[in-house]
Amino acid sequence: MIESFKEMAEGMQDQLVAWRRELHKIPEVAHDLPKTAEYIAKRLEEMGIPHRTGVGGYGIVAVINAEKEGKTFGIRADMDALAIEEETGLPFPSEHKGAMHACGHDAHMSMALGAAKLLQENRESIPGRVKMLFQPAEEGPGGAKPMIDDGALKDPDVDVVIGQHIGHIFKTVGNGQVGVGKGAIMACLDSFKLQIHGKGGHGAMPDITVDPIMIATQITQALQTLISRERKPTQPGVITVGKFHGGTAYNIIPEKVELEGTARFISEEVRQQISKRIGELAKGIAESMRGSCEFEYVYGYPPLVTDSEFSEYFKGVAAQIVGDENVVEIDEPTMGGEDMAFFLKEAPGTFFFLGSPKAGEDMYPHHHPKFDLDESVMWKGTALFAATAYSWLKDNA
């Protein structure tokens, strides 16, 4: 049956491309996805798949074999685009000014729709249920948790869940290859804000001021010691200050400076430790330099942790779809984040990477206004979703 799903998915390639291009034209950002959700719901309706809309916002949950007893296999696809003005020059560009599918979510939806169609057409031979999870706001502020809170993984309860990302996130995963990792493979996605208060005054008389720019500079440098001196070298971590705002004129020492940054960790233990130390260190430096500091830390997406046993199972299915030589073991995590992590905290599963870089001079990274992907590999994503769902449900009936 795995071979059959492979052949059926290959036969759907033109349809997958057509869906992807239609979705590419109507990108929507964050939680505001009325047209995208309507498009997905219409395709599910055409397939005869019962579904619920408005889950945690514009999320959609569809269940294949809704009345059948057995375990439930979850397939997740993100739906949102980015607030980027498209510059690809494609013949099917974004019709929404200031929005673009610059991360491949249009392809994710298309491949998931393809899997839903194949599974629905072969539902009589599937010993269990498949739940399709179409999720908004992956790029921020996060759509997985609102869907979970709204019961997306309940009634029926999801036993395992799988998701994927297309493109060129891991350089070791070539075009058409499948990357699979075990354990923590993506970092948390946290942010922090620091407001440093001093005492403003004339730039020519610094001795009667408390300079928040100097304090903020010391803090920015010192934050890096939390990575180099308070964390094991074998545990990945990143602290980046991306905003540094302060001052109104060249000869005035301001009253305050505002810093904003991101923190990324693979280990939840390290995440909890360093998140507290950022505030302690910043406040200590500010007070030692006669100023003060306000600190806010926002816990975003947690580290993405795959289930090792299920990931190994998926690798076996993937080898039958793309060939063993095209299944690549991911042994080093990326510090990028993904709110698929919330689903994987609720149910075991995996998150795989389908290599699809646009070759030559046209290859631009994710989140770039000229980002594009090689559509010829899309059938593989559909086949991997459908074949893994069928195979796992059969083996766990």
Q: Indicate which residues carry an active-site annotation.
A: 80, 138
The C-alpha atoms of residue 48 and residue 194 are separated, in whole angstroms, by 52
Token pair recorded at residue 61? 């949950």
Q: Who's near 225: CB < 8 A, 6+ residues apart? A: 281
Helical H segments across the chain, by residue range: 2-11, 13-25, 34-47, 105-121, 144-149, 212-228, 268-288, 308-322, 340-346, 378-395
Backbone angles phi, psi at 78, to 5 degrees: -90, 150
Q: Which residues of 137-173 are buried (b: 16+ CB within 10 A; e: fewer)?
A: bbbbebbbbbbbebebbeebebbbbbbbbbbbbbeeb
Question: What string of DSSP letters covers 266-318?
Answer: S-HHHHHHHHHHHHHHHHHHHHHTT-EEEEEEEEEEPPEEE-HHHHHHHHHHH
The C-alpha atoms of residue 275 and residue 38 are separated, in whole angstroms, by 40
Q: Which amino acid is at 392?
A: W
Place of tokens 């696809």: 77
For residue 113, CA distances in Å to 52, 66, 127, 276, 283 come to 15, 17, 20, 43, 50
